[in-house]
């Protein structure tokens, strides 16, 4: 069955407000102060970087970051940040987890999220990410960081472009267009908006102390003191319009750190769909937790044996699998040695209970002829599309497009269990406590180092000279087969010509009518296609900056 799928790029240029007046840096908490040892504060029994006394009720219910530091000038300063909680609250009462109490019986992660005016995420996107962590025993607490009590993270200003590591440069009133060259720097944004309005004002119920180290003269000592304490625990992220690198960048994050950006101005309706918002947020937060596109210390993207939102194939439901759960991987599927490959079963990985799909998960890989093939976990997959046999062969499997950055020569694609890593750490991989970002070299002031960065870029119709992009809007030909029936074409799946029979393990997708390059995106049935045409759903694929 031939199905035409048309991708429509929804530009936000006409709807987003113009630039606000430029802002400059502040000295709010730009110091190298950090807690390196939790021993004086009850230790870190959960290995989440939050000292036990900070969350065990020693200072009352809630999060209370309370410590002494003499690293600056040898002068001891007492720092404290108090964030009350509501005892007994659960995600049923507060789906953001913000007022849910931390505990020494679980791992806790704290994230402050802000958003530019016009770029704020749907609340459901936050709820879904919090729920995904909670399902695996990790409590994610999201503070919408301007007016936390009302759940608003709107900073009240808007800028067309953000540059990650730079000094401020912008122009008031600049209108957002595809040729906009002015930008606001992320470090300046964080220095102005990290902390809620009350915290930046030094509200003594949250910021009770006013000690500052020698050499610093902040305008509000209470705020300076408590935000220095707060940044020991909180990740910080902001939903912005575009990054200066281009309208096709969905996000950026430190790989093992505490800073992240979600930039969906060039995506659905200028702010991203629910799927795009929650997928990008969980993906970028995963980078902060030391996860890469193929697991830890593994940048190999689009692997068929790594079913994680960190994998571009599974970052969005619209990318390939409409039933893709919002999840990191919870099973390390079998390794695939591309240099000595044979038809194999990589292991069972069923859809979770409650999913609209049942049975084993969909997987995708590249065939020897450049087509993108689909099968499932839990069965023997015919990687070379030549019928199930015992032959050994060499084949690159994750080259479903250049944006997956697949190796040109066969390598071993390893499976990885993300959740086991987050729960237990892995000293052999260099991360005994992946939730403790204070041990990262990325944790220093708010000036982001040039190393350890990751830019997640999605192609949406144009190329940029600063990094390679692949335009993958295409017309798809989808030849659907029965998972246990007979297929046509050479071997066991339709290839557009010839006849043959064999055991069919999935579906084949070709893009013979695509003038732009290899197939990356996969549509699911005529109904979705019609809906996509009517509503202008954009379909993109991911490119990792090199």
C-alpha 170/C-alpha 508 separation (Å) is 48
At residue 449 the predicted structure's pLDDT band, cuts being 50, 70 and 90, is very low
- In order of 45, 305, 348, the CA distances from 377 in angstroms are 36, 9, 5
pLDDT (tens digit per residue) in 107-153? 999 999 999 999 999 999 999 999 999 999 999 999 998 888 788 88
**DSSP secondary-structure letter at 350?**
B
Structure token digits, residue 492: 């066991």
Q: Report domain extents, the chain.
A: 39-289+435-459
Structure tokens at 173: 């009133």
- SS3 of 112, please? strand
Percent of the chain at pLDDT > 90 equals 55
Read off the pLDDT of residues 24-54 as tens digits, 9 standing for 90 and up: 666 667 778 999 999 999 999 999 999 999 9
**In the predicted structure, residue 361 carries a pLDDT above the cut 60:** yes
Bridge partners (DSSP) of residue 523 are none
Please give the pLDDT value at position 265. Answer: 86
3-state secondary structure of 200: helix
Distance (Å, rounded) from C-alpha 147 to C-alpha 197?
A: 6
Asked whether the predicted pLDDT for residue 76 surpasses 60, the reply is: yes
- Mean pLDDT across 47-64: 97
pLDDT digits 0-9 by tens, 379-434: 999 999 999 999 999 999 998 876 787 888 999 999 999 999 999 999 999 999 99
DSSP 138: E
Strand partners, 413: 336
Least confident of 334-338, 425-429, 438-442, 496-500: 496-500
For the cut 60, the answer to whether the pLDDT of residue 98 exceeds it is: yes
| Residue entry with tokens 């595809």 | 178
pLDDT one-digit tens code per residue, 266-280: 888 989 999 999 999
Indicate if the pLDDT at residue 523 is higher than 70: no
Q: In this structure, what token pair is assigned to residue 420?
A: 């086991």
Give 436's pLDDT tier (boundaries 50, 70, 90): very high
Per-residue pLDDT at 150: 81
Residue 72 has pLDDT above 60, yes or no: yes
Residue 481 has pLDDT above 90, yes or no: no
With 70 as the cut, is the pLDDT of residue 499 above it?
Answer: no
Per the prediction, the chain carries an average pLDDT of 77
- More confident call, 178 vs 187: 187
pLDDT band, residue 171 (cuts 50/70/90): low
Average pLDDT, integer, range 515-542: 32
């Amino acid at each position: 069955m031939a199905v035409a799928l048309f991708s429509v790029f929804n530009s936000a240029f006409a709807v987003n407000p113009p630039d606000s007046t430029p802002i400059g840096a502040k000295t709010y908490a730009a110091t190298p102060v950090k807690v390196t040892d939790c021993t004086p504060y009850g230790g870190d029994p959960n290995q989440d970087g939050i000292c036990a006394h900070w969350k065990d009720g020693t200072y009352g219910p809630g999060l209370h970051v309370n410590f002494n530091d003499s690293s600056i000038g040898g002068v001891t300063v007492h720092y404290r940040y108090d964030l009350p909680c509501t005892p007994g609250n659960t995600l049923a009462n507060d789906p953001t987890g913000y007022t849910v109490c931390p505990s020494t019986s679980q791992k806790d992660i704290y994230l402050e999220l802000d958003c530019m005016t016009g770029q704020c995420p749907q609340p459901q996107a936050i709820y879904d990410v919090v729920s995904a962590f909670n399902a695996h025993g990790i409590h994610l607490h999201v503070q919408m960081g301007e007016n936390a009590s009302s759940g608003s993270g709107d900073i009240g200003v808007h800028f067309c472009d953000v540059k990650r590591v730079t000094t401020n440069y912008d122009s008031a009133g600049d209108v957002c267009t595809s040729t906009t060259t002015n930008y606001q720097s992320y470090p300046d944004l964080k220095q102005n908006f990290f902390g809620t309005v009350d915290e930046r004002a030094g509200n003594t119920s949250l910021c009770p102390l006013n000690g500052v180290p020698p050499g610093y003269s902040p305008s509000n000592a209470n705020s300076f003191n408590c935000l220095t304490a707060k940044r020991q625990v909180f990740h910080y992220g902001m939903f912005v319009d575009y990054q200066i690198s281009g309208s096709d960048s969905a996000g950026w994050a430190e790989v093992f750190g505490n800073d992240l950006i979600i930039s969906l101005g060039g995506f659905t309706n200028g702010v991203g769909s629910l799927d795009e918002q929650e997928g990008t947020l969980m993906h970028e937060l995963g980078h902060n937790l030391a996860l890469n596109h193929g697991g830890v210390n593994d940048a190999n993207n689009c692997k068929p044996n790594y079913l994680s939102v960190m994998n571009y194939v599974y970052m969005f439901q619209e990318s390939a699998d409409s039933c893709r759960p919002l999840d990191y991987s919870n099973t390390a599927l079998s390794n695939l040695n591309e240099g000595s490959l044979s038809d194999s079963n990589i292991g069972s990985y069923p859809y979770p209970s409650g999913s609209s799909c049942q049975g084993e998960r969909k997987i995708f890989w590249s065939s020897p002829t450049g087509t993108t093939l689909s099968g499932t976990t839990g069965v023997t997959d015919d990687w070379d599309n030549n019928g199930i046999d015992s032959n050994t062969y060499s084949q690159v499997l994750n080259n479903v497009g250049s944006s997956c950055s697949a190796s040109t020569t066969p390598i071993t694609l390893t499976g990885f269990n993300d959740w086991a890593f987050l729960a237990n750490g892995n000293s052999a991989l260099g991360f005994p406590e992946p939730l403790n970002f204070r041990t990262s070299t990325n944790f220093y002031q708010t000036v982001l180092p040039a190393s350890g960065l990751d830019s997640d870029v999605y192609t949406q119709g144009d190329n940029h000279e600063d990094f390679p992009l692949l335009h993958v809007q295409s017309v798809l030909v989808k030849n659907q087969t029965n998972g246990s029936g007979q297929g046509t074409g050479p071997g066991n799946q339709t290839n557009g010509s010839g006849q043959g029979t064999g055991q069919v393990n999935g579906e084949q997708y070709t893009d013979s009518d695509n003038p732009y390059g290899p197939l990356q995106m996969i549509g699911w049935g005529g109904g979705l296609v019609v809906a996509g045409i009517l509503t202008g759903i954009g379909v993109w694929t991911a490119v990792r900056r090199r």
